[in-house]
């Protein structure tokens, strides 16, 4: 069996290598290739840059991608092939394609920090590229995830050559926007999102990593790249076990992993001043670039992504910039846009034919802004294109949420036993008249496991997407509230708001929520989820602890989706106090949490009555409104 596996892997490696070489050969026929250009920054640090540009005497626009990942053209990874493919597509359309490593990454000089700070590196790169004799002075930025997340803060600097951008899966670059204090996806509702614990293990280079001599020549770098790529080889980790380690500040250390930025970041609180000194975009910053945003319903940061789009549209004073913000929301996982097929399955739920011609959209956008083509692209481009699951269709709107979405309140109710799928929890449009309380035991050493969801980058610990939650809902530490079967189909599209009235016998705990589409046969597919650490219920600039037995209002960080609940389906929410390892466990002590190993068991309660109307507010587009579209 081992020999067969090795044989198959060897064959896969050979196929990837052959494909990469073929793509490079095709690229070399049409492009001038200049690799390991050491682009100077204002402080003397040089960033490793590969340039692919058309064989022409005409000045050309530039598509620029900056990344922390290894794009060495002599490597054997997927990034190598992708770089060649993107360069080929850009060059054949008349663009130069420039890809650059962030400061401190691989062949780039300096020390790395997440998002490649300082911000001046981006500004200096734009100035250098605009000054090249082959450049027409117009630069567009493009990329998904880490190649997108740095773009927003640099857009705030408003470089005159930064003419347009296409950020995709960009949430980890959003710091504070509106009511969201995720600080680059590190937090949700004040609880740590554990994706960075696994991601940084395999991304940050150790402080003691080997380094090339300062000032090394381009000629030497081109020679060295053939047999050194400066990429560490990380031992594989079973993150389904590795993320269980306590205290969480030692998770990477427990794996004998690299020492780097994680050790400092894990100690930051949600409003720590350090979050405002790096490469994150915050809503008190300006914004100077027309943008075509791409987001996903099952990405880790869909809500702050949409909030940022609205912020730029509604608050930036430059009207030309504010009026030239466009958005696509796909029913996919993080950066999986182009993997949508005729029968797109996200997790285990089919969402139908979710294909979209992304190349046409991206290059139509760049042709307009970088080449100045009068291609009528903006005239035909919907402000918002969003995919509605359930009805499985692309729809358009001038705003997000759609203007015809009406916030409709559903209240949690029971006779005091909403525990599990087998309890009596109800979701009703009527305010409960009688005081009732649903209680459950939250043991941080036996948390509710994450099952599917809006997640990325956690290795084998969590598989993202939509999964039938029924077996999860058999747990007694999950409160389940379900509506009556719907008499007509309804679309829910927009931000989903939740207010809970809660109590506990500990100083601090978390509350989690999931929104579920329940099919007539009982299948229960998750749509979105969120969490709130109760100590931050009054804001992220202070910690306010609970008194035993006292009831507190907790407004959850809003969720987002677009889903059509067919006639006969039911709307369900799950409430608990853990969703692990999607989010770090609250150990319930009221302490730092990141440096603690022993938690205490909490009895947590959700109250519902006229006095304590625990509720969820859904942006509903009625069936008759759908038929008008």
The CATH number covering residue 493 comes to: 2.60.120.260
Please name which of 186, 185, 184, 151 lies closest in space to residue 167, comparing C-alpha atoms: 151
Q: Has residue 79 been placed in a domain? A: yes
pLDDT for residue 82: 87
Ramachandran angles phi, psi of 109, nearest 5°? -80, 165
Q: Is residue 350 part of a domain?
A: no
C-beta separation of 512 from 575 below 8 A:
yes
Q: Does residue 375 contact residue 367 with C-beta atoms inside 8 Å?
A: yes
Residue 278: inside a domain, yes or no? no
Residue 262 falls inside a structural domain: no
pLDDT band (50, 70, 90) for residue 77? low
pLDDT of 73: 81
Residue 573's beta-bridge partner residues?
Answer: 481, 515
**501 lies in a domain?**
yes
Work out whether strand 524-533 and strand 31-40 pair parallel, antiparallel, or are unpaired.
Answer: unpaired
Q: What is the pLDDT of residue 11?
A: 46
Rounded-to-10 torsion of CA 22, 28, 31, 33: 110
φ and ψ of 427, to 5 deg: -115, 115
pLDDT at 19: 59
Q: How confident is the model at residue 9 (pLDDT cuts 50, 70, 90)?
A: very low
Tell me the pLDDT tens digit for each residue of 483-530: 999 999 999 999 999 999 999 999 999 999 999 999 999 999 999 999
Question: Most distant CA pair in the chain: distance in Å?
Answer: 79
Q: Which of 67, 88, 112 is the last residue of a domain?
A: 112
**Number of domains the chain contains:** 2
Mind listing the pLDDT tens digit for each residue in 335-349? 999 889 999 999 999
Out of 112, 147, 167, a domain closes at: 112
Given a contact cutoff of 8 angstroms between Cβ atoms, the answer to whether 187 and 248 are in contact is no
For residue 56, give its domain range.
1-112
DSSP string, 89-105: HHHHTT-EEEEEEPTTS
Question: Do the domain assignments include residue 161?
Answer: no
Is the per-residue pLDDT at 625 higher than 80? no
Average pLDDT over residues 554-583: 98
Per-residue confidence (pLDDT) for residue 128, from 0 to 100: 98
Question: Which carries the bigger pLDDT value, residue 207 or residue 529?
Answer: 529
Other beta carbons within 10 Å of 462: 25
Q: DSSP characters for 543-564?
A: -----TT--EEEEPPPEEEEEE
Task: Name the domain boundary from 87, 112, 137.
Answer: 112
CA proximity to 442, closest of 515, 536, 510? 510
Least confident piece of the model among 3-12, 24-33, 563-572: 3-12
Q: What are phi and psi of 194, to 5 degrees?
A: -85, 5
Q: What is the mean pLDDT of residues 404-427?
A: 98
Percent share of the chain, pLDDT over 90: 89
User: How many CA atoms lie less than 13 Å away from 276 in the CB half-sphere?
Assistant: 12
- Residue 56 located in a structural domain: yes
Q: What is the pLDDT of residue 484?
A: 98
Number of H helices, E strands in the chain: 14, 28
pLDDT at 75: 65
Contact (CB, 8 A) for 335 and 60:
no
Q: How far is Cα 180 from Cα 497, in angstroms, rounded to an integer?
A: 13
Cβ within 8 Å of residue 373, ≥6 positions away: 367
Residue 130 belongs to a domain: no
Q: pLDDT tens digits, residue range 149-159?
A: 999 999 999 99
Q: What is the pLDDT of residue 78?
A: 63
Mean pLDDT of the 161-167 span: 98
Predicted local distance difference test score (pLDDT) of residue 80: 75
Residue 17's pLDDT band (boundaries 50, 70, 90)? Answer: low
DSSP type of residue 590? S
| 113-142 confidence digits (pLDDT tens) | 999 999 999 999 999 999 999 999 999 999
pLDDT in tens, 286-295: 999 999 999 9
Quick check: 569 and 518 in contact, CB under 8 A? Answer: yes
Residue 615 β-bridge partners: 411, 499
């Amino acid at each position: 069996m081992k020999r067969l596996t090795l044989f198959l892997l060897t064959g896969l490696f050979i196929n990837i290598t052959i494909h990469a070489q073929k793509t490079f050969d095709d690229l070399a026929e049409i492009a001038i290739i200049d690799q390991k250009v050491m682009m100077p920054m204002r402080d003397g640090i040089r960033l490793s840059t590969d340039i692919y540009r058309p064989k022409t005497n005409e000045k050309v626009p530039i598509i620029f991608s900056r990344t922390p990942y290894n794009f060495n053209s002599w490597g054997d990874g997927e990034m190598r092939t992708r770089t060649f493919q993107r360069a080929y597509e850009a060059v054949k359309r008349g663009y130069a394609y420039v890809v650059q490593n962030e400061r401190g990454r691989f062949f780039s000089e300096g020390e790395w920090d997440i998002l490649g700070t300082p911000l001046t590196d981006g500004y200096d790169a734009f100035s250098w590229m605009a000054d090249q004799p082959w450049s027409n002075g117009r630069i567009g930025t493009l990329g998904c995830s880490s190649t997108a997340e740095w773009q927003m803060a640099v857009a705030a600097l408003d470089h005159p050559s930064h003419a347009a951008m296409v950020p995709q899966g960009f949430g980890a670059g959003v710091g504070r926007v509106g009511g969201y204090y995720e600080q680059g996806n590190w937090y949700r509702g004040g609880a740590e999102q554990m994706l960075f614990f696994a991601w940084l293990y395999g991304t940050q280079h150790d402080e003691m990593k080997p380094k090339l001599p300062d000032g090394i020549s381009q000629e030497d770098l081109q020679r060295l790249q053939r047999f050194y790529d400066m990429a560490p080889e990380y031992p594989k980790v079973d993150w389904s076990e590795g993320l269980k380690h306590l205290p969480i500040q030692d998770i990477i250390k427990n794996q004998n992993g690299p020492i780097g930025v994680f050790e400092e970041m894990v100690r930051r609180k949600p409003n720590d001043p350090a979050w405002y000194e790096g490469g994150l975009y915050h809503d008190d910053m300006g914004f100077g670039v027309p943008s075509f945003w791409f987001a996903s319903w099952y990405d880790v940061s869909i809500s702050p992504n949409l909030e940022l789009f609205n912020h730029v549209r509604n608050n930036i004073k430059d009207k030309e910039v504010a009026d030239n913000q466009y958005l696509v929301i796909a029913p996919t996982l993080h950066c999986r846009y182009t993997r949508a097929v005729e029968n797109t399955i996200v997790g285990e739920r089919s969402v139908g034919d979710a294909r979209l011609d992304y190349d046409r959209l991206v290059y139509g956008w760049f042709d307009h802004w970088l080449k100045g083509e009068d291609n009528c692209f903006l005239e035909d481009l919907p402000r918002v294109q969003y995919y509605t699951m359930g009805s499985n269709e692309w729809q358009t709107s001038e705003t997000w949420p759609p203007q015809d979405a009406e916030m409709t309140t559903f209240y949690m109710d029971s006779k005091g036993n909403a525990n599990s799928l087998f309890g009596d929890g109800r979701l009703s449009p009527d305010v409960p008249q009688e005081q009732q309380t649903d209680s459950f035991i939250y043991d941080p050493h036996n948390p509710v496991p994450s099952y599917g969801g809006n997640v990325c980058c956690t290795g084998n610990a969590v598989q993202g997407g939509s999964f039938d939650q029924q077996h999860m809902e058999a747990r007694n530490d999950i409160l389940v509230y379900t509506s009556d079967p719907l008499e007509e189909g309804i679309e829910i599209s927009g931000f989903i708001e939740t207010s809970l009235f809660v109590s506990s016998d500990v100083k601090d705990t978390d509350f989690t929520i999931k929104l579920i589409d329940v099919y007539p046969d009982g299948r229960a597919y998750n749509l979105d989820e969120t969490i709130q650490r109760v100590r931050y219920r009054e804001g992220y600039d202070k910690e306010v602890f609970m008194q035993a037995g006292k009831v507190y209002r907790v407004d959850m960080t809003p969720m987002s989706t677009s889903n059509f609940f067919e006639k006969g389906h039911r709307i369900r929410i799950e409430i608990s106090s853990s969703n692990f390892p999607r989010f770090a466990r609250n150990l319930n002590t009221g302490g730092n949490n990141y440096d603690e190993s022993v938690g205490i068991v909490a009895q947590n309660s959700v109250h519902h009555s006229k006095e304590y109307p625990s509720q969820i507010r859904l942006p509903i587009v009625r069936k008759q409104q759908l038929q008008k579209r």
